[in-house]
Chains A and B, each alone.
Chain A
């Protein structure tokens, strides 16, 4: 089975975000870069699906700078077979143009299924996967967990967690996109032989500017800033009965939230 994974490199979720003095973006100097956590679930599910299908190929696809190669190699070390990187150096992208270049880059690959993350933890846009699906005229399930290949290998059955603990069991005809949530499978660690092998696995390079074909971003971002600090709160002291009574009183009379 030919399986693609949309993989974005994002800052580690522990990262303390700093803003450039002029507010034009974030200060990238002390950032530890990782595979977007949801995309890592995607890599794991892709590898499992390849096994379930009895073989095939897992290809990671990234639009990003040279720095992103490290994260792609990490996915290759987990077991993916090759990579395609669309170099974004010198072009500014939004979700729309990202979807344009991703869909163009994979059009000739004839993937049977494409994995993405539920969202990228940097821009939190929740847009690129659905837009890419729209560009390809493919179905897309967001979010998806518990992924199983149909008996005919031309469909998948997945669980879509919705609000309020409800789970929808859905069947999707392939090809299509699955946007991975944190499911029951923790992403595997790369083994030492895996890491060694990853070094020689191929990563093809394309240029974003070539794929854009005149398409331009639909939004611009400015005024990057930190959220206002919460002012220090009150620590209530005393006997349990007394502090609980005080808290209830404060929530009603001062904060007025109950």
Chain B
């Protein structure tokens, strides 16, 4: 019998979309190990959102609360997770491959002498242990990870697993515990919001990206308008970021964000290998480029050869007509 412990994330009182995916996966894996799936949420005022995990089949959630956990700090969160681990004694520990998930798990894995697989796109049970599939070399290759350790850990790439049909009548039982505070060597002095309302690229379902072809920050507005018409998040190539058209937070690719949306629209992006590295697992790729030989077309499901300055306003209008956004 093996239990599965997973970290669920709450933002502004709401459960993250990728945490619903992970909850569904944790329940599935736990049933295969004849064990229980336990959720853990860490932070201030997270208990209420945690109840919602019940909708995906999770019965028990530990909510670690405390003022010191108001903002994410690696050491503090890792300690909080370790405390829950020592109580629930899981065989498998999971998190989403988010900014916090990727940072907490290695700290905990080292303490537990547990194997860890990062940013997995498949997780299953084989011979009673976790087995993972993950991209390496920025998605240019794939590899299977077999665990040698008694405790097995993995982070999961957002948008990789199906969310279980929610049973809205069910609530998880939430046990609140207070965080043990220790003298942290890291303090947050200030939090800056660069751009109001910018959504997280790595969990976006639709992304509209612009490249060097936009020519200026001002012109990037047509990318933003197209994105708005779809409720999409704005991405960019490194050339657009380096030219100062948009901030690095939007960069998709090897030295930017890895994204996994259901729809990726690349506008005026040539499709350099480092850009493809960040978006190649998108379910559907659309390319708009005036050069019919641009490498992006070889990865695209749909392509239009033409001038984006002419095409994007038309597309924006048509999406608006259809979706009313």
Report which A residues bind B (CB closer than 8 A): 11, 13-14, 16-17, 19, 26, 37-38, 94-96, 99, 121-131, 133-135, 138-142, 157, 161-173, 176, 182, 216-227, 230, 232-237, 240-241, 243-245, 247-248, 250-252, 255, 257-258
Contacts and interface: CB of A to CB of B under 8 A. Distances in A.
B69 interface: no
Going nearest first, the 10 A-B pairs with the smallest beta carbon separation are A218-B115, A163-B200, A219-B115, A130-B106, A139-B185, A165-B198, A223-B144, A127-B106, A165-B249, A165-B194
Contact of A248 (B74, B144, B322): B322
Contact of A167 (B192, B280, B286): B192
Contact-residue bracket for chain B: 35 or more
Contacts of B102: 126, 142
Contacts of A16: 140, 273
Given A134-B110, A164-B199, A219 B194 contact: no
Contacts of B217: none
B144 A222 contact: yes
A134 B186 contact: no
Interface string B121-165: 000000000000011111111111111110000000000000000
A165 B304 contact: no
Given A121-B138, A170-B188, A127 B116 contact: yes
A126 B137 contact: no
Interface stretch (B22-30, B38-46, B309-317): B309-317
B301 A234 contact: yes
Contact of B147 (A14, A123, A169, A218): A218
A169 B188 contact: yes
Given A161-B249, A257-B263, A230 B301 contact: yes
Contact of B206 (A163, A167, A237, A257): A257
B68 interface: no
Interface of B: 71-72, 74-75, 78, 98-99, 102-103, 105-107, 109-111, 113-119, 134-149, 184-195, 198-203, 206, 230, 247-250, 254-255, 262-263, 273-274, 277, 280-281, 283-286, 292, 297-306, 310-311, 314-315, 318-319, 322-323
A7 to B, nearest CB: 17
B98 A163 contact: yes
